[in-house]
Structure 1
Amino acid sequence: MTHAFGALPLGGGRCRFRLWAPGQPGVTLLRRDAMPLPMQAAPEGWWTLETEAPPGTRYRYALGDGPTVPDPASHAQEGDAEGWSIVTNHAAYHWQNTAWNPHPWPQSVVYELHVGAMGGFRGVIDALPRLAALGVNTLELMPVNDFSGARNWGYDGVLPYAPDGAYGTPEELKALVDAAHGHGLAVMLDVVYNHFGPAGNYWHSIAPGFFRGDLRTPWGDAIDFRRPEVRDFFIGNALFWLREYRFDGLRLDAVHAIASETFLAELSERVRAAIARPVYLVLENERNDAALLAEKFDAQWNDDAHHCLHVLLTGEAEAYYADYADAPAARLARALAEGFVYQGEVSAHLGHARGQPSAHLPPSAFVNALQNHDQVGNRAFGERIASLAPPDALRAAFLLLLLAPPVPMLFMGDEFFSERPFLFFTGFAAPALAEAVREGRRREFARFAAFQDPARRARIPDPNDPATFAASRPDPAERMAAPKAEAEAYIAGLLALRRERLAFRLAGAKSLGARALAPRAVRAEWQLADGAVLGIAAQFGDGALALSTALSPPLGEGAILAGSAPGVAEAVAAGELPPRSAIAWLREAGA
């Protein structure tokens, strides 16, 4: 059923309302400036009503044994997540780019961004020409659904169907997707189906059975995916974004926290059956569940590859980086050749086995990145990789990232080696909650050696301080500085090479193997769809690396695709890979 939950305009100023509230003795529809109307009980705990309520009507529900609440399936809000829900007519938007067709997933180059930090939906629209010229072809928006307060990463959302008013209106979000399609950019949305935020979630009052009392998560009681209504609420949400907003795909946050063995497969099957056009479905999944990637989902964020690269670039070895610090180049080689590093081995950091064999999966099943919102924002001071690694090593890492067959992802600012922090920020109105978040953040880092001193912990930015959000917004002046403009030209050049020389033959690419050349150097090759062989060698050490056999057979005339800096190709021809550098080559079929 279309819009099984919430308010569905019927035309002629009438609207059908549906709320799942099992156990309530009664539910009343409240419309601002109109008489309250009792809703009618229906089987399986549903309450329904069809009445006069044209688009724009503000409404809420009065529960028979509880508070007055917004619609948990609200499509738009007035007055934040706790305010009035708004009847929304999605058919009123006139789409401009109706002939849009997304590119095949293996050709994707993803750009992750935070809508609020970029100035809301209109701010992102303004950035589209620059991003299209850069060479990315897929935007991934961090969650945009309604959260409590003025600012948030988006992972504290409580109304999954409503774009947050701080970013703009539903029409402006549609205009963003529409305009992106006009620039040749696909748009994905990050969705959170594993928990709700700590403020503004009324499901506990509406239907306590929405949650399990026998299973806890870091965010409280687990959502009860055993209930068909709960499954329908979230699967209906996935279909809603794809249908009404014409998103090209979804990235599902932290699915390892979803307490169900079957929900993800069901979501994929129902989306594929209901949406005729290609849809990208991507997971974040700590479990490294390769079985889900064999046919149900297109790809997974590959934290293993990120962690290897981060250790090679920075030498950091605390927390989860400890699982990669013993042999980072060898572990990176496995990630390049097989996808996951952990394929059933025990993670010392987690204390248990993790992952499944993944070598049979195509490279496009993995989304690799040097950083993302988690890996930057979950650092105490939000440091970017450009603040932690030397520029030449960074150039080498980006060459490896952007020319290797796995789907590459840039985090906003990566393209010009931004050093501006991206911090964890919130905007909760309740002082007690703001204090709890601030102190919880500082306790989280108390186990790290650098934060044993309470005075240093006290300097960790307060997530609820508006200045924390302001410090996380991109600075146009930084991008215009000469070294940053040079970095952006370098990234654009790599993306042009990927688009012109590699993209059309990435579907069907397969690994020909990878190996560590030294403790901080790696080499990998892939056979592309037309038989050409793509190779990359990268090293992050301080000394030159002899290449007597590393590039055997020798590279032929014209095989060099790119070097990370001037002179790298000549040095490779002379038999060595310079410190902190990378080289890519392409042997055409038959060469």
Structure 2
Amino acid sequence: MPFGAGIGDDGSVRFALWAPAAERVELLLDDAAGDNPFELHPRADGWFSISTHAAHTGSRYQYRIDGGQPVPDPASRHQPEGVHGPSEVIDPRDWDWRDDDWRGRPWQEVVLYELHPGTFTPEGTFAAARGKLDYLAELGITAVELMPVAAFPGRRGWGYDGVYPFAVEAAYGRPDDLRGLVQAAHARGLMVFLDVVYNHFGPEGNYLSQYAPAFFTDRHHTPWGDAINFDGAGSRWIREFFIHNALYWLEEYRFDGLRLDAVHAILDDSDPDILTELAARVQAGPGRERHIHLVLENDNNSARYLRPDNGPEAPLYRAQWNDDFHHVLHVLLTREVHGYYKDYADDPLSHLQRCLTEGFAYQGEPSPYRGNRPRGEASGGLPATAFVAFLQNHDQIGNRALGERIGQLTDAEQLHVATALLLLQPSPPLLFMGQEWASPRPFQFFCDFGPDLAEAVVRGRREEFADFPGFGDPAARERIPDPLADDTFNNSRLDWEAAQTDSARAWYERHRQLLALRRDAIIPRLDQRAPQRADCTRLGPCALAVGWQLRNARLNLLFNLDSQSLSAIAPPPGRLLYATHPEAATAATGTSLPAASLLAYLDRPGEPA
């Protein structure tokens, strides 16, 4: 890549910095004798570079811009002393890959497991996470998704305030520890996805504005301030910075896919826009050699990114996280209708019908939460595999005031129905760490900013919930955990001893059984190219019968989230796959749907029921 420090075949290290606002750039090497800087040579288009044998793998270095304070390399591969310390020269060729035969897995086989590396295990490291891979494979997971691992301020954080997109967060381990995790996952048939953030830089440790202010523009605004400049003067190398970042993770670490965070905040009026160009470059690069899957989080529900743009070829992006699916199920399970849940308060069952048969609930309709502005694009012609479904993820738990999981907000029987619906419907499901045993541990918002930001972060976090039920009184908001407190981080760690209780084991076995059914009966019949063919019928006030035409089979799910039973329901043809209440599934004379129940059937022509 054109950025950062790279080691040549002759052992020299080439340092390259794009600093269009600088007049002079010096390289400071920690292992050079005394204060003996090396002056970088100016090149065209704002670049400065130098190659030297004075540096080597493991050298620590900084840049001094126009005689000012030393700053790290924005394309640093590692920041061992944090975001304000020196960068380290890393040679990715030093790692001995042993998975050259790995070509990934097709998208329809995806079952995602999202985890935060710092709270997934007691140690909070990549090395410790390796020890849980057998457990995940036995559960039925096929793809591990890591929350962002780019270097962020302090000792802990969610990762979405990263400031060095190429640098592996030192709190989790060294770059080779991450490579070891990916390689060990591949050895077990597991894909590994990485969450990446291309919509902003964090508020602490980013020095780009000092020497490359063109990285930002006030023509577009985001929740974090001025937008990243993807479409204005000087944007060529900014686009390349992020495109190479995507290629870097896929090539140097052999990730199988990326999830691009909040792309609705990537504002770009150029043609092609950065999302289109990035995906095309990935497909033309590592995507030619193995299965590479790009996934979006996009509040705009922009279905166009999920459609093939060149005939029979794969779409630019495999799928989008389907917030609509989560939000409407959350309303049905909890009856909460504040915040963005107000969009689903009016006839939530209709919204769920649309999610299950067409993907998005909002496909251009006015959104009450967004001031009745239209939201979304038509998604009915997309395959079911274009939508990642979930009941929990880091956002939907951690963005709550107290970080409660869905198991603390609804009863076990309704959660059983929602879990079976999630894992048996055709869209790829996502579990959040600990969900498989119904972990009661919260996942709260935590960070570790310096004193200049700490007070504002605590105050802003608590005032964010001023309009939410139960937090209107300032005294009540004092209950909201302090994001910078040690306890907030520690309370969010998974308690693996709790996974050994009888209740946890029952939930785990339920998830394992459902994922085995998905693997054997549903995944082989999914078509990631064919438009979804589905129909849905209301059976009661909070009950649906949904049918999907799969490859050579039809999948039917009947479920009731009401407190009242339904009787005399005609069972669909086919064999019974799963029942939350097995006693309710009777002969062809009719069946019943007790309160909080689900039945799943698979009909294969010519196969006896």
TM-score, structure 1 length as denominator? 0.96
Residue 372 (structure 1) aligns with: 393
State whether residues 22 and 45 of structure 1, in contact with CA within 8 Å, keep that contact through their aligned partners in structure 2.
Answer: yes
Q: Which blocks of at least 5 consecutive residues in structure 1 are unaligned?
A: none
Aligned partner of 1:583: which letter? Answer: L
1:283-294 matches, within 5 Å, as 283-294=296-307
1:269 aligns with 2:288: no
TM-score, structure 2 length as denominator? 0.94
Within 1, Cα distance between the matches of 2:539 and 2:190? 38
Aligned partner of 1:86: which letter? Answer: E
Residue 50 (structure 1) aligns with: 51
Task: State the SS of the aligned residue for 2:533.
Answer: strand
State whether residues 305 and 368 of structure 1, in contact with CA within 8 Å, keep that contact through their aligned partners in structure 2.
Answer: yes
Residue 407 (structure 2) aligns with: 386
1:563 aligns with 2:579: yes
Residue 539 (structure 1) aligns with: 560
Q: CA deviation at 1:590?
A: 4.2
Aligned partner of 1:563: which letter? Answer: A
Aligned partner of 1:555: which letter? Answer: P
Within 2, Cα distance between the matches of 1:189 and 1:269? 18
Task: State the SS of the aligned residue for 1:296.
Answer: coil
Residue 268 (structure 2) aligns with: 260
Match of 1:311 among 322, 326, 331: 331
Match of 2:353 among 322, 333, 347: 333
Distance 1:401 1:575, change over 3 A: same
Q: CA deviation at 1:540?
A: 1.0
Match of 2:544 among 508, 522, 528: 522
1:160-175 matches, within 5 Å, as 160-175=165-180
Residue 485 (structure 1) aligns with: 505
Task: State the SS of the aligned residue for 1:409.
Answer: strand
Match of 1:577 among 584, 593, 596: 593
Residue 515 (structure 2) aligns with: 495
State whether residues 585 and 591 of structure 2, in contact with CA within 8 Å, keep that contact through their aligned partners in structure 1.
Answer: no
Residue 82 (structure 1) aligns with: 84
Match of 1:179 among 176, 181, 184: 184
Within 2, Cα distance between the matches of 1:502 and 1:355? 28
Within 2, Cα distance between the matches of 1:140 and 1:568? 37
Residues 533-565 of structure 1: CA deviation (Å, up to 9, x unaligned): 0011121111102344xx4xx434x61110124
1:19-98 matches, within 5 Å, as 19-34=17-32, 35-52=36-53, 53-64=55-66, 66-98=68-100
State whether residues 532 and 589 of structure 1, in contact with CA within 8 Å, keep that contact through their aligned partners in structure 2.
Answer: yes
Aligned partner of 1:204: which letter? Answer: S
Aligned partner of 2:41: which letter? Answer: Q
Distance 1:385 1:572, change over 3 A: farther
State whether residues 330 and 522 of structure 1, in contact with CA within 8 Å, keep that contact through their aligned partners in structure 2.
Answer: no
Match of 2:473 among 453, 472, 479: 453
Task: State the SS of the aligned residue for 1:148.
Answer: coil
Q: CA deviation at 1:569?
A: 2.5
Match of 1:192 among 186, 189, 197: 197
Distance 1:230 1:547, change over 3 A: farther
Distance 1:475 1:561, change over 3 A: same
Task: State the SS of the aligned residue for 2:497.
Answer: helix
Task: State the SS of the aligned residue for 1:179.
Answer: helix
Within 2, Cα distance between the matches of 1:101 and 1:269? 19
Residue 436 (structure 1) aligns with: 456
Within 2, Cα distance between the matches of 1:522 and 1:31? 66
State whether residues 334 and 515 of structure 1, in contact with CA within 8 Å, keep that contact through their aligned partners in structure 2.
Answer: no
1:297 aligns with 2:299: no
Within 1, Cα distance between the matches of 2:536 and 2:572? 17
Distance 1:65 1:32, change over 3 A: closer
Residue 252 (structure 2) aligns with: 244
Match of 2:236 among 214, 228, 241: 228
Within 1, Cα distance between the matches of 2:99 and 2:568? 51
Task: State the SS of the aligned residue for 1:586.
Answer: strand
State whether residues 25 and 65 of structure 1, in contact with CA within 8 Å, keep that contact through their aligned partners in structure 2.
Answer: no
Within 1, Cα distance between the matches of 2:117 and 2:587? 43
Q: What is the number of equivalent residue pairs in this alignment?
A: 582
Within 1, Cα distance between the matches of 2:14 and 2:20? 19
Within 2, Cα distance between the matches of 1:412 and 1:46? 43
Aligned partner of 2:347: which letter? Answer: A
Q: CA deviation at 1:573?
A: 6.7
1:128 aligns with 2:139: no
Residues 370-425 of structure 1: CA deviation (Å, up to 9, x unaligned): 01100000000000001111111111111111011001000111101111100000
Task: State the SS of the aligned residue for 1:494.
Answer: helix
Aligned partner of 1:494: which letter? Answer: L
Residues 7-63 of structure 1: CA deviation (Å, up to 9, x unaligned): 001144311111000021100011013121000000000001001211001000000
Within 1, Cα distance between the matches of 2:81 and 2:22? 26
Q: CA deviation at 1:566?
A: 4.0
Within 2, Cα distance between the matches of 1:364 and 1:400? 15
1:410 aligns with 2:431: yes
Residues 230-255 of structure 1: CA deviation (Å, up to 9, x unaligned): 00000000000000000000000000
Task: State the SS of the aligned residue for 1:232.
Answer: helix
Residue 310 (structure 2) aligns with: none
Distance 1:572 1:309, change over 3 A: farther
Moved more, 91-100 or 489-498: 91-100
Distance 1:300 1:573, change over 3 A: farther
State whether residues 402 and 495 of structure 1, in contact with CA within 8 Å, keep that contact through their aligned partners in structure 2.
Answer: yes
Residue 204 (structure 1) aligns with: 209
1:321 aligns with 2:341: yes
Within 2, Cα distance between the matches of 1:238 and 1:257? 18
Residues 443-487 of structure 1: CA deviation (Å, up to 9, x unaligned): 100011210111110110000011101000100121111011000
Aligned partner of 1:450: which letter? Answer: G
Within 2, Cα distance between the matches of 1:590 and 1:325? 43
Task: State the SS of the aligned residue for 1:256.
Answer: helix
Q: Which blocks of at least 5 consecutive residues in structure 2 are unaligned?
A: 308-314
Within 2, Cα distance between the matches of 1:461 and 1:447? 17
State whether residues 327 and 519 of structure 1, in contact with CA within 8 Å, keep that contact through their aligned partners in structure 2.
Answer: no
Aligned partner of 1:264: which letter? Answer: L
Distance 1:285 1:244, change over 3 A: same
Task: State the SS of the aligned residue for 1:78.
Answer: coil
State whether residues 99 and 183 of structure 2, in contact with CA within 8 Å, keep that contact through their aligned partners in structure 1.
Answer: yes
Aligned partner of 1:399: which letter? Answer: A
Within 1, Cα distance between the matches of 2:226 and 2:381? 37
Within 2, Cα distance between the matches of 1:349 and 1:494? 35
Within 1, Cα distance between the matches of 2:152 and 2:201? 9
Residue 4 (structure 1) aligns with: 2
Q: CA deviation at 1:107?
A: 1.6
State whether residues 427 and 466 of structure 1, in contact with CA within 8 Å, keep that contact through their aligned partners in structure 2.
Answer: no
Within 1, Cα distance between the matches of 2:355 and 2:116? 27
Aligned partner of 1:380: which letter? Answer: A
Aligned partner of 1:23: which letter? Answer: A
Within 2, Cα distance between the matches of 1:121 and 1:317? 38
Within 1, Cα distance between the matches of 2:538 and 2:445? 35
Within 1, Cα distance between the matches of 2:225 and 2:448? 20
Residue 471 (structure 1) aligns with: 491
Q: CA deviation at 1:574?
A: 4.5
Distance 1:283 1:403, change over 3 A: same
Residues 123-157 of structure 1: CA deviation (Å, up to 9, x unaligned): 21011010000001001100001001000000000
Task: State the SS of the aligned residue for 1:16.
Answer: strand
